[in-house]
Amino acid sequence: MAEERKKLSWREIDKLKDASGLAKLRKKREKETSSERYSEDRKAKERYLKELEKLFSKEDSEKEELLKKLHQTVGKKDFKKVALLFYEKFGFPDTARDLLPFFDVEEREILVKLLEKVKERFLEFNPFERQALISRLKTLQFSTRDEYLAYRCEKLLRELTP
């Protein structure tokens, strides 16, 4: 007759592992890491809320309103006034889409500063934005009557294009 050995089922083996000292240490570590995660999550939440406050602050909403108005007035007689107001309050915007209208401002000082801004940030823009900026630079170079400005555009174009 065959001897019957009692074999443990997988469930019983898992229960034995869970009851071991190693499992208790593992659970303790998990609790510690979860409390650390909770504190990290809380800090991240606080940073996120501060960023949200900045987003909805009065200055940012005013900046967004003025940018919207700037884009709406491109090609109209109010454009220069709105562009100068925006520049005085906030300087140049950071995105290429928002920088492009400033090429239509016919103030030498502002255009020279705009060229410097484009030079500084050019590599941060995506290829389509770069191409748009290059075309605006070429247009400005050939359409301006200011020889100094045309020279600066030409110089910048040589630096930016391979």
Domain ranges in the chain are: 12-55, 58-160
Q: What is d(CA 101, CA 150) in angstroms, rounded to the nearest whole number?
A: 18
Kindly report the average pLDDT of the chain as a whole number: 83
Q: Is the pLDDT of residue 1 over 50?
A: no
Burial 114-126 (b: 16+ CB within 10 A, else e): bbebbeebbeebe
Residue with the two structure tokens 């000082």: 109
Q: What pLDDT, on the 0 to 100 scale, is given for residue 152?
A: 94
pTM above threshold 0.75:
no
Residue 114 parent element (H or E): helix 108-121
Q: What is the pLDDT of residue 26?
A: 72
Structure tokens at 160: 């930016």
Tell me, what's the pLDDT at 4?
60
For residues 94-115, average pLDDT: 90
| Residue range 46-79, pLDDT digits in tens | 888 877 776 666 667 788 888 899 889 888 888 8
